[in-house]
Amino acid sequence: MSWLAEIPARSIVDRALEARFTLAPGDRPLVAVGDRVTPGEVLFEHLRDRRVEVVTIPSAVDEPGADDPAHAGPISGGRWSSPTGSRRRHHATSTEGELLAPLDGRPDRWRLIAGDHRDRVESPVAGIVTALVPGTEIVIRPDGLALNGALAAGTPAFGRLELATDPYGELGAGHIDVGRAGSILVVGDRVDAEALTRARAMGVRGVIVASLSGKDLRDFQASERRQRASLHGAPAFGVVALDGTVRRPIAGPIAAFLKRLAGREVGLLTDPPALVLDVDDSMLPVVDPAWVRIRSGPMAGTEGRVTGPAVPYWFATGVHLEAAPVVVGGGTTLMVAVGDLERLI
């Protein structure tokens, strides 16, 4: 059935995903390139109340050990702290932070990002640190496989995978209690901002859903900003929508895959949106090559089996497109535009 190649294919898992963790100016990395990290290990300290200060850094000729090659001068993005116990005026106060840039014409005067309150950001996955750029990002190559999503919000997290509803279900705020604390919930075809806020308050670590409407996404992001701006740091919590903003159930093979993984520890990423699973290929579902899913249009989310090659077809709206015959539930055959179909491989 070489004609199946005409239908766009979507891989269920990604084997070469790289997780990115954004570093803002002033954040302090606690890992280095080449380090192996585990879930729960602290990656960096996030500065919540950053401010810009100007500090005086003595020239290299004034510092002991200036002849040592390891005694490098100040650089943008480097960490600097004033020595304690110094009698020099410019060391009278203790300041620590990330160097930005020297003042114009004053190589000994540097702008520095400092602050007093830091949140410890933990790794949601096991893997290897492959890149680190201060003030920009930390990149980790996770172990295992990754289930890609379309969009995400919140922060990376890890926890125990639990099925809260069936693939067609909708999780309401009233159905979430403290018994779900520490878990990452699979909640079916949609979830609203109120349920997400409730889940975060109950100690849930994350939510996996088929779709998240634009309004609910904006409302949740606004709630997240308020939570992160509060005096006390908030625990990690994130949401990943597998298919974007259009409401539809979780694809059958993916729902079956998640059901098999229930009870396992998983990592939730927001950049890129993904669920990281410490499993091998033996856990993947076996999918019929002719099994397809309608990904857009009024029948979005419907699944079936394609039974023949694509042919030119006149639709009732007067549009002439390449379409393939798809047998859906009940034995009904639909002609569906090839661009509206996807295969899961």
Between 86 and 317, whose confidence is greater? 317
CATH label of the domain that carries residue 321: 2.30.30
Residue range 258-291, pLDDT digits in tens: 998 998 999 999 999 999 998 888 888 888 888 9
Q: Are residues 73 and 164 in the same domain?
A: no
205 domain residue, yes or no:
yes
In a domain, 157, yes or no: yes
Claim: this prediction has a pTM higher than 0.75: yes
State the average pLDDT over residues 224-249.
82
127 part of a folded domain: no
Is residue 304 domain-resident? yes
Task: Indicate whether 213 and 254 sit together in one domain.
Answer: yes
> pLDDT category, 65, cuts 50, 70, 90?
very low
Together in a domain, 155 and 234: yes
Domain boundary among 260, 283, 306: 283
In this structure, the answer to whether residues 212 and 294 fall within a common structural domain is no
Residue 232: the pLDDT is 66
DSSP-based helix, strand, coil % in the chain, nearest 5: 15, 40, 45
Q: Identify each DSSP E strand in 173-302 by its residue range.
A: 183-186, 190-191, 206-209, 238-241, 265-270, 273-277, 291-294
**How many of the other CB atoms lie within 10 Å of CB of 31?**
18
- Per-residue pLDDT at 86: 46
| CB of 296 closer than 8 Å to CB of 246 | yes
One domain, residues 276 and 294: no
- What are the C-alpha distances in Å from 18 to residues 107, 139, 147, 331? 38, 6, 12, 42
> What φ, ψ does residue 253 adopt, rounded to 5°?
-60, -35
Residue from 345, 315, 310, 222 nearest 6 by CA: 310
- Which of 257, 283, 309 corresponds to the end of one domain? 283
User: Which of these, 17, 44, 277, lies nearest to 130 by C-alpha position?
Assistant: 17
How high is the pLDDT of residue 67?
46
What's the rounded mean pLDDT across residues 153-169? 84
The reply to whether 166 and 200 lie within a common domain is yes
232 backbone dihedrals φ, ψ, rounded to 5°: -100, 140
151 shares a domain with 275: yes
Beta 206-209 vs 183-186: how paired, if at all? Answer: parallel
Residue 264: name the closest of 159, 187, 185 by CA: 159
pLDDT tens string 165-200 = 766 666 666 677 788 888 999 987 888 888 898 888
Residue found by looking up tokens 């070489």 in the block? 2
Q: Which domain holds residue 77?
A: 51-114
